[in-house]
Structure 1
Amino acid sequence: MSAEFSPNSGSLAEARPPPGPLRPVSMTKRSKAMSALPQISVVVPAFNEANSLPTLCRRIDQILTHELGETYELILVDDGSIDNTWDSIQRLTEQFPVQGLRLSRNFGKESALCAGIEMAQGEVVVSMDGDLQHPPELLALMIEKWRETGCDLVEAVKTRAQNEGTVSRLRARIFYKVFSVLCGFDLSGMTDYKLLTRSAREAWLNMPERTLFFRGMTNWIGFHRETVQFQVPDIEDRHSRWSFTGLLRYALRNITAFTAVPLYLFAFLGLFFLFPAAILALDTLRRWFQGVAVEGFTTVIILVLLVGGLNFIGLSVLGLYLGRVYEEVKQRPRYIIRARTDQ
């Protein structure tokens, strides 16, 4: 089951009554609301998002407070930003029910998400990006879907990105296809924009690995899930921060952290070359006993180079997995908190 949100109309696919005028909520009322456990926790990892966070907070507050009447907390995690993101978060705590975390360095989006989700106290947790590519207006549909179906996960699936180039779209398709074949989970169109109930949240937090892949791990835990669809809005002056080498590292990191299938593939390749090698060896011995000169030196060279190349690739894959094991056995924390706004 899925529903769709279009950023062009600024509303849900099924028309809802127009919202009333935006009325300011006093910080006294906000403090009372935050003293009790909130219904909704929204977790937003942010890296150099000082300009977009104020707009994001206003739009989230419009939806959750003024349209839905929900009590909520907004957890903003500064993932080692080098701009004034932390200053922006501190100012936003005076206007909205914001809790801010500042990590000691850039640990990566997955670790920042983990820090925010561990801090969340709401009945449900919503994870979303801070660059406005995840429309806050979709929150209403996600919450409605959760309450109507009683599901444990609501996943926002993007139908298309208006400003996504052909090369970026092709790279994403290749990654999702390879991941699907190797891991058995189809993540096509999936995003980190998700709603998790307390059960799903606890199941995810109980997974102890240090190398995190939020999209894959939330699919692995199972549970009853529903989807809603949305179009990624076209944001001016917004360009992808991912280079080709960065995407390649991201793909290798997540695949090797999520499945051991590549190791089995090289085991099967070894068996595949074992039988032709055995046949060739027997034929060579037969010719030697018959006193017939063995021809085909070029073929031997090609086979040696091919097998040698496969050996190097296999050793590289093995090295990647050993690196994952090394990171896990060190038992270093997923993140380190430098500062909090509530302290």
Structure 2
Amino acid sequence: MSANQKKRGENMLSVIIPAYNEEKMIQTTADTVDRILSEASVPYEIVFVNDGSKDGTWQQIETAAKKNPHVNGLHFSRNFGKESAIFAGLANAEGDCCAVMDCDLQHPPEVLVSMYRLWEQGYEVVEGVKRSRGKESTIHRACAGLFYKMMSKAVKIDMSRASDFKLLDRKAVDALLEMPEKNAFFRALSSWIGYRSTSVEFDVQERTEGESKWSTWSLIKYAVTNVVAFSTAPMQFVTVAGIFTFLFAIVLGIESLVRYFTGHAVEGFTTVILLILIVGSLIMMSLGIIGYYISKIYEEVKGRPKYLISKKAGKRK
């Protein structure tokens, strides 16, 4: 029996924690998770994934790994994004189940115990759903609301209270890791795979250190990237726009003919300019959407890895 099989026999929980410029939170997060899981007698490991941070995040992970044998770390060669960090953590986790949470402790670690107990009852996917979003500015809340509405309609999964805070059985983890696509949307894919699932509500906590990495612009980019990665909904816009333009052309054509034969032909420089602007805008938008999909296909065809790990810390270094 291998070392990994022995560990999995202990029903070990792997806690995956992506980190980007979180040097002030690494030790606090490691200590908090350690205390909560130890008190609950949950066998565990922590896998920090440093996503190309520009501060001392990696040094803090190495220090935490030296202090606590349960802590391991992965260091990306550059910034590959949160989705890649999640999948790297899952691929390098040794637990029988894996939980993903944020490094800033906005995902309350106490909920990990509830998730783990539900997993022991036989649930294979335990979703963390937001009871409240914590304190946010009005603009940020509005942008986040728009983002989740757009995502829900595009991926046909209710994303209004969804989060990356969830626990997956090893079977579900392996199913995710077998998916070959580079642009993977973890939050939606973990629901798409099915399996026996349940949910746990939690209140988003306030950050004790640092600032949120999610600006309005980053939310927009995140939404566009993941909608394209998980859904063909934007492509349907091209079809709908084409049908709308065709119907508009028929109506305008009939009107023009009627006016012509009744001796009241449409006078036309302004009309022509408006038509050119409308049709031209729709064509350019459609080409932009198609071009974006082609660029993502190009990225997939190249077959480059989701991430590159340059260093490791902890007992498995």
- TM normalised by structure 1 equals 0.84
Q: What is the rounded CA distance, in whole Å, between the counterparts of 2:300 and 2:232 in structure 1?
A: 15
Distance in 1 (CA, whole Å) between partners of 2:23 and 2:207 is 15
Give 3-state SS (helix, strand or coil) of 2:164's partner: strand
Question: In the alignment, which residue of structure 2 is the partner of 1:105?
Answer: 78
Tell me the residue number matched to 1:292: 263
How many angstroms apart in 2 are the aligned matches of 1:334 and 1:120? 16
The verdict on how the C-alpha distance between 1:271 and 1:122 changes in structure 2, with shifts beyond 3 A counting, is same
Report the secondary structure of 2:179's partner residue: coil
* Structure-2 separation of matches of 1:168 and 1:71: 38
- Equivalent position SS for 1:162: coil
Partner of 1:26: none
CA contact (8 A) 1:152 1:225 kept: yes
**Aligned-pair CA distance for 1:145:** 2.1
- Name the counterpart of 1:223: 195
Aligned position for 1:315: 287
Counterpart residue number, 1:16: none
Partner deviation per Cα, 1:185-226 (whole Å, 9 max, x = no partner): 111121111100011111111111111211111122122211
| Alignment match, 1:77 | 49
Which of 86, 96, 104 is residue 123 of structure 1 equivalent to?
96
Query: Is the contact made by 1:34 and 1:73 (CA closer than 8 Å) also made in structure 2?
Result: no
Instruction: Give me the whole-angstrom Cα distance separating, in 2, the residues matched to 1:209 and 1:79.
Output: 19
Counterpart in 2 of 1:301? 273
The answer for the alignment partner of 1:281 in structure 2 is 253
Deviations along 1:37-60, whole A, 9 cap, x unmatched?
A: 451111111111122111111111
2:106 equivalent to 1:141: no
State the Cα distance separating 1:116 from its structure 2 match. 0.8
| Correspondences of 1:1-343 after superposition (within 5 Å) | 36-37=7-8, 39-65=12-38, 67-96=39-68, 97-148=70-121, 150-285=122-257, 290=261, 292=263, 294-297=265-268, 298-341=270-313, 342-343=316-317
Letter in 2 for 1:102: H
Alpha-carbon distance in 2 for matches of 1:296, 1:262: 36
Q: Helix, strand or coil: the match of 2:165?
A: strand
2:78 alignment partner AA: R
Alpha-carbon deviations, 1:157-181, whole Å to 9, x = none? 1222332122111111111111222
Give the deviation of 1:86 after TM superposition.
1.4
Q: Secondary structure at the match of 1:145?
A: helix
Measure, in 2, the Cα distance between the counterparts of 1:108 and 1:322.
21
Secondary structure, in 3 states, of the residue corresponding to 1:334?
A: coil
> How many aligned positions are there?
309
Alpha-carbon offset, residue 282 of structure 1: 4.7
Q: Cα distance 1:34–1:217, how it changes in 2: closer, same or farther (>3 A)? A: closer
1:283: Cα distance to partner?
5.0
What runs of 5+ residues in structure 1 fail to find an aligned partner?
1-31
2:188 is aligned with what amino acid? G
Superposed CA deviations along residues 102-130 of structure 1, whole A, max 9, x for unmatched, are: 11011111101111100111110011111
Q: Per-residue deviation at 1:247?
A: 1.9
Give the structure-2-normalised TM-score. Answer: 0.91
Give the distance between the partners of 1:203 and 1:34, measured in 2 at CA.
Answer: 18
Report the Cα distance in structure 2 between the residues aligned to 1:237 and 1:50, rounded to whole angstroms: 10
* Distance apart, 1:256 and its partner CA: 1.1
CA-CA distance at 1:79 after TM superposition: 1.0
**For the residues of structure 1 that align with 2:301 and 2:254, how far apart are their CA atoms?**
46
Equivalent AA in structure 2 for residue 333 of structure 1: P
| 1:241 Cα deviation after fit | 2.2
Counterpart CA distance in 1 for 2:235 and 2:73 is: 41
Report if the CA contact (8 A) 1:76-1:100 is conserved: yes
Per-residue deviation, 1:240 = 2.2
CA contact under 8 A between 2:124 and 2:172: conserved in structure 1? yes
- 4+ residue stretches of structure 1 with deviation over 4 A? 32-35, 285-288
8 Å Cα contact 1:157/1:229 also seen in 2 = yes
Q: State the alpha-carbon separation in 2 of the partners of residues 139 and 257 from structure 1.
A: 29
What is aligned with 1:15?
Answer: none
Contact 2:256 2:266 in 1 (8 A): no
Question: SS of the residue aligned with 2:284?
Answer: helix
